[in-house]
Amino acid sequence: MTRKYEFTGETILYYGRTLHRIRRLSDGDVGGWIESEPNLSHYGDAWVVGKAVVYGDARVYGHARVFGYARVGGEARVYGDAWVGGDAWMYGEAVVFGDARVFGDAVVCGHARVSVGNISQSSHVVYVSGYVFHITATPDGVQIGCEWRDWPTWLSMRKAEAVALGLPAEEFAATKVLIRTLYKRLTKK
């Protein structure tokens, strides 16, 4: 196996876990923080940047990027050409793949799967599965389960209305965060 990176010797304590800073061997670029070598594949050009952390049984591979203050833990997977950045947090068995971009204060958890597929050169659709309902978002609006609504309707929806549509009350807050994140991403607002 050809090694892509090494530990710099610099460590931090992160919620009781010892994380190691990495350095790319090809050019000396100092990267982010991982708990152990299985967190970041030596194959492909996947990379953890800056203050981002990957820990537990999480894996980053392919051409994926984890950057900013992003945290990827548990058994989460980031692969393909996916990016996870900003203050995003992934944990559980969540998966971000393909050309997906997860930014801001987004939380992707549980069994959620996030990917992006091109519809045409000028528009995108995002599919999210792993929640109680599948979520499909486009620049025009969002479908959660069988319910299609425009962005303003979903963004202003109150908990009681969502529960009446069948969304579990305990998933309302996480779903609202996801909807706001998708809205900013797909409508560039």
Tell me the pLDDT band of 181, cut-offs 50, 70 and 90: confident
Residue 120 and residue 103 in contact, taking contact as beta carbons nearer than 8 Å: no
Model confidence pLDDT, tens digit, residues 21-35: 999 999 999 999 999
What SS3 class is residue 108? strand
Q: Domain check: are 79 and 150 in the same one?
A: no
Q: Which pLDDT does position 163 carry in this prediction?
A: 84
Confidence tier at 41 by pLDDT (50, 70, 90): very high
Instruction: Verify that 94 and 123 share a domain, yes or no.
Output: no
pLDDT of res. 122? 35
Q: Which residue has the tokens 């350095």?
A: 23
68-86, pLDDT tens digit by residue? 999 999 999 999 999 999 8
Question: Rounded to an integer, what distance in angstroms lies between the CA atom of residue 79 and that of residue 57?
Answer: 14
Number of domains in the chain: 2
* Residues 49 and 103 placed together within one structural domain of the fold: yes
Same domain, 13 and 105: yes
Report CA-CA distances (Å) from 156 to 25, 42, 65, 139. 49, 45, 32, 17
Residue-range definition of the domain harbouring residue 106: 5-111
User: Does 65 score more than 80 pLDDT?
Assistant: yes
Q: What average pLDDT does this structure show over 34-54?
A: 97
Cβ neighbours of residue 27 closer than 8 Å, sequence gap 6 or more: none
3-state secondary structure of 137: strand
pLDDT surpasses 90 at 99 = no
Amino acid residing at 127: Y
Of 78, 111, 144, the one marking the end of a domain is 111
Query: What is the length of the chain?
Result: 189
3-state class (DSSP) for residue 83? strand
Q: Which amino acid is at 169?
A: A
